[in-house]
């Protein structure tokens, strides 16, 4: 079937096949809200991240999104639910989906872009404000104080997004869409 992709094959993650409604469901955001994020340019997508609509009134707005973009929106939506601005949250979420972790040029990368650290480790997105975030590896019983920089004055508490849960939920929604298509 055309448009069918394998979500376990990273080389297929950048093909736009998921409608905005599927991305909204995977992000736990109302479809109208997600569309307004695009209309108001709170989320700005680059060429290749989406397939533009063909309707005259929707020209230039996304119709189909890539799996990587859906993952980014879902991680951003988790930050938005805690009060982070949409544009800031989307930029922070890209730290997970567009950048790998800890690769020194030799051997396999410990974490490819939009991937999780090997189990039993958890993968967290730590966001303290602004468009910057850090993706960290945590053990099943992590020592949370070691995840953050301390000092005086005491900075505001960071937002922690458990990316293993985001990844699992988004995959479930997207696989359901692919199965039904």
Q: Is the pLDDT of residue 46 over 80?
A: no
Give me the mean pLDDT over the 24-47 stretch.
90
Give me the mean pLDDT over the 43-62 stretch.
67
Give me the mean pLDDT over the 46-71 stretch.
74
Q: Is the pLDDT of residue 25 over 80?
A: yes
Residues 92, 58: Cα–Cα separation, whole Å:
27
Integer CA distances (angstroms), 127 to 18, 51, 88, 161, in order: 27, 30, 10, 8
Percent of all residues in the chain with a pLDDT value above 90, rounded to a whole number: 35
In angstroms, the first-to-last Cα distance of the chain is 9
Q: How many other C-beta atoms are found inside a 10 Å radius of the C-beta of residue 165?
A: 13
H/E run at residue 161: strand 159-162
Residue closest to 17 by CA, chosen among 180, 178, 179: 178
Q: Is the pLDDT of residue 158 over 90?
A: no
- Model pLDDT, residue 72: 94
Residue corresponding to tokens 């298509």: 181
Q: Does residue 25 contact residue 170 with C-beta atoms inside 8 Å?
A: no
Residues 64, 78: Cα–Cα separation, whole Å:
21
This prediction has a pTM of 0.83
The SS3 call for residue 159 is strand
Give me the mean pLDDT over the 64-83 stretch.
93
Q: Where are the domains of the chain?
A: 10-180
Residues 56, 114: Cα–Cα separation, whole Å:
33
Q: Tell me the pLDDT of the chain averaged across its residues.
A: 80
Residues 62, 20: Cα–Cα separation, whole Å:
7
More confident call, 31 vs 111: 31
- Model pLDDT, residue 2: 46
Give me the mean pLDDT over the 170-174 stretch.
95
Q: Is the pLDDT of residue 56 over 50?
A: no
Structure token digits, residue 114: 């939009």
- Model pLDDT, residue 138: 81
Q: Is the pLDDT of residue 105 over 80?
A: no
Q: Does residue 113 contact residue 94 with C-beta atoms inside 8 Å?
A: no
Q: How many other C-beta atoms are found inside a 10 Å radius of the C-beta of residue 94?
A: 18
């Amino acid at each position: 079937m055309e448009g069918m992709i394998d979500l376990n094959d990273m080389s297929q993650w950048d093909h736009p096949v998921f409608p905005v409604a599927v991305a909204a469901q995977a992000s736990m955001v109302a479809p109208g809200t997600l569309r307004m994020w695009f209309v108001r340019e709170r989320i700005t997508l680059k060429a290749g991240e989406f397939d533009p609509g063909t309707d005259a009134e929707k020209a230039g707005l996304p119709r189909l999104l890539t799996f990587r973009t859906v993952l980014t929106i879902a991680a951003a939506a988790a930050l938005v639910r805690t009060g982070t601005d949409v544009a800031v949250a989307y930029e922070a979420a890209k730290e997970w989906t567009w950048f790998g972790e800890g690769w020194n040029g030799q051997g396999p990368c410990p974490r490819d872009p939009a991937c999780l650290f090997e189990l039993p480790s958890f993968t967290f997105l730590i966001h303290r404000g602004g468009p910057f975030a850090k993706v960290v590896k945590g053990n099943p019983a992590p020592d949370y104080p070691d995840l953050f920089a301390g000092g005086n004055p005491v900075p505001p508490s960071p937002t922690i997004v458990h990316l293993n849960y985001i990844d699992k939920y988004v995959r479930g929604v997207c696989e359901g869409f692919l199965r039904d298509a």
